[in-house]
C-alpha cells in the first residue's frame, strides 16, 4: 500500500514564473534605494486597474503633520463612483514593505482591490519609512491617520461606526498594532482587522523561518535588512522583549480586539507568526479566521490581478472584510 505523500505543495507555477523573471532579493548592504527600486518593478499595468474616484490629501492630527493619504471610493451598483452616499464603511489601509519600502503607488492596486472587494471607502496611508525614520515614526503616523479617519469619516461619505484596518506584511503588523491602540485609547472602535501575512513578533526561531529561509520575495537576507533599518541597534534575539507597538504578539491582553482574518502563505517565513497570532486572538475570545494558502508566497495580494491563485486567496480575505462591514 502506497503511503500518502507528506510533501507540501509547490509554489504555483504561474506565480513562480513571474517571480523568476523579476528577482527581488536584496541585502542591507545593497542599500534601501536598491530595495525600493526592486519593489517598484512589480507595478501592475494601469489598464487592468478598476476605475475609481480617488483623491490625494495631506492630513494632520495632533502634533503630526504632512501625512499623505490616498482615498478611494468604491463603485456603486451601476458602476459609477459612489460620490453622494454617506453610509459607506471605511477601511484604513497600511501598505507593506518591511517598514522601509512601499508607498501609495506601489500599493495602489491593492488599495483599489480593498475598495472594490469590501465595497468601502479606503484611506491608504503613506507613513514615514525607515531607515530615514525608524520605529516608532511609522506607528505614530498610522495612529494619527486612523484617528483622523474616524473624525472625518462622515465628511468622506463614510460611517464612523464601521471602520476597519487592513494591511499586508509590515502593514499587517501596523494594522494589528492599531487594533490594540484603538482598544486601549477609547476608540475608534473597529469593526474588523484584515491582516495579510503579518509580522507579529519577529520570532526567527519559528519553523517557517527555517523552512522558507530562501523563499522568493522575503528571505532571511531581506528580513535582516528590514530589521536593521527599522530597529537599528535593537537586539532581537529575544523577541519577547520587543514592545507590543513593534510586536503585537507580545501584548499582555488580546481580549476586546476587533475580529480578524489572517491570510498566510505556506512558502513564507512569516507563515507561523500569522498562525500564532490567530491562536492568541482566538484564545482571548476574539474571532480570528486563519487561511493558509498552500501554493503561494509572501506578498501574494500584490499579484491578485495577474495570478489566478493569488486572486482566489485575496478574494477570500476581502469577502471576510465585506461580510464584517456589511452585516
Helix residue spans in 207-263 (DSSP H): 207-211, 220-230
The values of phi and psi at residue 71, to 5°, are: -110, 135
CA distances from 173 to 152, 237, 261, 274 (A): 24, 19, 13, 10
Bridge partners of 90, per DSSP, are 121, 163
- Residue 126, all three cell numbers: 503613506
Estimate the crossing angle of helix 308-325 against helix 108-118, to 10 degrees. Answer: 50
Give the contacts of 41 (CB within 8 A, at least 6 positions apart): 22, 24
Q: Tell me if residue 268 is catalytic.
A: yes
The residue to which cell 461606526 is assigned: 161
Among 61, 95, 267, 298, the one annotated catalytic: 298
> Which candidate in 107, 168, 169, 272 is catalytic?
169
Query: Is residue 284 within a helix (H) or strand (E), and if so which, with residue range?
Result: none
298 is catalytic: yes
What stretches of 92-169 show up as alpha helix (H) in DSSP?
108-118, 137-156
Instruction: Indicate if 302 belongs to the active site.
Output: no
Comparing CA positions, the residue from 6, 43, 74 lying closest to residue 306 is 43
From the list 268, 272, 276, 302, the catalytic residue is 268
For strands 158-168 and 192-196, give the pairing.
Answer: parallel
Q: How far apart are alpha carbons 307 and 305 in whole angstroms? A: 6
Q: By the 8 A CB rule, do 100 and 229 touch?
A: yes
Catalytic (active-site) positions: 169, 268, 298
Amino acid at each position: 500500500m502506497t503511503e500518502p505523500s507528506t510533501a507540501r505543495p509547490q509554489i504555483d507555477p504561474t506565480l513562480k514564473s513571474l517571480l523568476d523573471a523579476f528577482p527581488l532579493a536584496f541585502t542591507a548592504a545593497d542599500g534601501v534605494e536598491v530595495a525600493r527600486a526592486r519593489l517598484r518593478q512589480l507595478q501592475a499595468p494601469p489598464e487592468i486597474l478598476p476605475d475609481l474616484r480617488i483623491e490625494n490629501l495631506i492630513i494632520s492630527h495632533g502634533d503630526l503633520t504632512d501625512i499623505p493619504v490616498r482615498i478611494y471610493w468604491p463603485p456603486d451598483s451601476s458602476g459609477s463612483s459612489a460620490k453622494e452616499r454617506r453610509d459607506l464603511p471605511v477601511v484604513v489601509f497600511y501598505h507593506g514593505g518591511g517598514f522601509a519600502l512601499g508607498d501609495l503607488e506601489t500599493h495602489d492596486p491593492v488599495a483599489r482591490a480593498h475598495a472594490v472587494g469590501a465595497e468601502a471607502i479606503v484611506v491608504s496611508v503613506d507613513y514615514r519609512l525607515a531607515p530615514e525614520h525608524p520605529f516608532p515614526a511609522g506607528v505614530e503616523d498610522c495612529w494619527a491617520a486612523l484617528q483622523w479617519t474616524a473624525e472625518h469619516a462622515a465628511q468622506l461619505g463614510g460611517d464612523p461606526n464601521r471602520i476597519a484596518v487592513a494591511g499586508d506584511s509590515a502593514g499587517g503588523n501596523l494594522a494589528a498594532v492599531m487594533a490594540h491602540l484603538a482598544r486601549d485609547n477609547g476608540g475608534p472602535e473597529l469593526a474588523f482587522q484584515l491582516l495579510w501575512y503579518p509580522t507579529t513578533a519577529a520570532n526567527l526561531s519559528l519553523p517557517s523561518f527555517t523552512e522558507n529561509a530562501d523563499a522568493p520575495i522575503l528571505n532571511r537576507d531581506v528580513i535582516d535588512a528590514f530589521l536593521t533599518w527599522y530597529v537599528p541597534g535593537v537586539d532581537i534575539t529575544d523577541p519577547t522583549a520587543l514592545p507590543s507597538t513593534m510586536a503585537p504578539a507580545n501584548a499582555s491582553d488580546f481580549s476586546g480586539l476587533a475580529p480578524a482574518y489572517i491570510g498566510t502563505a505556506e512558502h513564507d517565513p512569516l507563515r507561523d507568526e500569522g498562525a500564532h497570532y490567530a491562536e492568541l486572538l482566538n484564545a482571548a475570545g476574539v474571532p480570528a479566521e486563519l487561511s493558509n494558502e498552500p501554493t503561494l508566497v509572501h506578498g501574494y495580494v500584490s499579484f491578485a490581478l495577474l495570478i489566478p491563485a493569488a486572486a482566489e486567496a485575496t478574494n477570500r480575505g476581502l469577502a471576510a472584510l465585506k461580510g464584517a462591514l456589511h452585516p
